[in-house]
């Protein structure tokens, strides 16, 4: 699966990226993780509250940093 972290580089965004990487690693998900920090690219997802977690081009979580458990749940759907 293709995971994207949307965020302009604030601490919350970095935190989301870190947790997501950990979850992917620990659970052996097959995923590519890309950080999207260009504001116009972020706008394409119709997201105005960062950070956001996008999986296969679908916005799953936005405007907050979810717990590792919640990310795991989201990724398990794919």
Given the complex with another protein, which of 8 and 27 has the nearer CB atom? 8
**Residues contacting residue 26 through CB under 8 Å, at least 6 positions apart:** none
- Least Cβ distance, residue 12 to another protein (angstroms): 6
* Residues designated as active site: 10, 13
Residues forming the site for another protein (CB under 8 A): 7-8, 10-13, 39-40, 42-43, 46-50, 63-67, 70
- Least Cβ distance, residue 30 to another protein (angstroms): 26
Cα 4 from Cα 15, distance rounded (Å): 14
């Amino acid at each position: 699966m293709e995971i994207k972290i949307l965020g302009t580089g604030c601490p919350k965004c970095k935190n989301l990226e870190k947790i997501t990487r950990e979850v992917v690693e620990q659970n052996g998900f097959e995923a590519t993780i890309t950080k999207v920090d260009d504001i116009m690219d972020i706008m394409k997802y119709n997201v105005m509250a960062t950070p956001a977690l996008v999986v296969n081009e679908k916005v799953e979580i936005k405007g907050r940093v979810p717990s590792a458990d919640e990310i795991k749940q989201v990724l398990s759907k794919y």
